[in-house]
A = this chain, B = another copy of it.
Amino acid sequence: MTSRPGGRSARVREAVLDAVYAELIHRGYLGMTVENVADRAGVHKTTVYRRWGTVDVLIADALDHTRETDWPVPDTGTIEGDLTAIATEIADTFTDPERRQVPAAIVAAALQSTRALQAKQAFYTARHTEAAKVVTRAVERGELPPQTDPLELVRLTCAPLYYRIFVSGEPVDRTTAERAVQSALAAARTGLL
């Protein structure tokens, strides 16, 4: 009946989760409904209700799906270059009024739904682990003290950007991204992490 791996169920999931991201970008978290996601995916809305139930579960499953896909770990040759690539990706996402809808919806959903909270935690655990590779390589190259905690340096690089976005409500740009990298590296170079 089908030549695609996973069959009809996997195809439906793929179509629905693509529609989740498209709807988030198009309407934002508050404007998103199960019906609109079903319409955009070309799937009957009762199918979507039965399988996912709510917008928050749709967002959680979309995030699980994204977590399972590869994220290209930067490899510029220097820790400063790699962390700048990571921080710049965050800053660029949040300066784009459409793309920023996705992480904003994830944080909002996680504050309303345990399922979404778990998906968010699993997502960031996975991405931290991936991103930590740039620190491990830097330690191997002798760029950073051997005891540096890779996860902590990743957190310190990202934290000032997310703090502005979700807490203080201040803008982020490439300058704030570079500043976050320099501050995190300064702490790492003292051997503190």
**B-binding residues in A (CB < 8 A):** 29-30, 104, 107-108, 110-112, 117, 120-121, 124-125, 128, 152, 155-156, 158-160, 162-164, 166-170, 179, 182-184, 186-187, 190, 192-193
Return the contact of A104 from the options B29, B111, B128, B182 (Cβ within 8 A).
Answer: B111
Q: Complex formed: what's the CA distance from A125 to B117 in Å? A: 28
Return the contact of A156 from the options B108, B125, B160, B167 (Cβ within 8 A).
Answer: B160
Return the contact of A159 from the options B108, B163, B193 (Cβ within 8 A).
Answer: B163
Return the contact of A168 from the options B124, B164, B167, B170 (Cβ within 8 A).
Answer: B124
Q: Which residues of B contact A124 (CB under 8 A)?
A: 167-169
Residue of B nearest to A179 (CB): B152
Interface core residue of A120, A128, A152, A179 (most chain B CB under 10 Å): A179
Interface core residue of A125, A159, A179, A192 (most chain B CB under 10 Å): A159
Residue of B nearest to A120 (CB): B169
Q: Which residues of B contact A169 (CB under 8 A)?
A: 110, 117, 120-121, 124
Q: Which residues of B contact A128 (CB under 8 A)?
A: 168
Contact status of A167 and B160, CB under 8 A, knowing A104-B111, A107-B111, A112-B30 = no
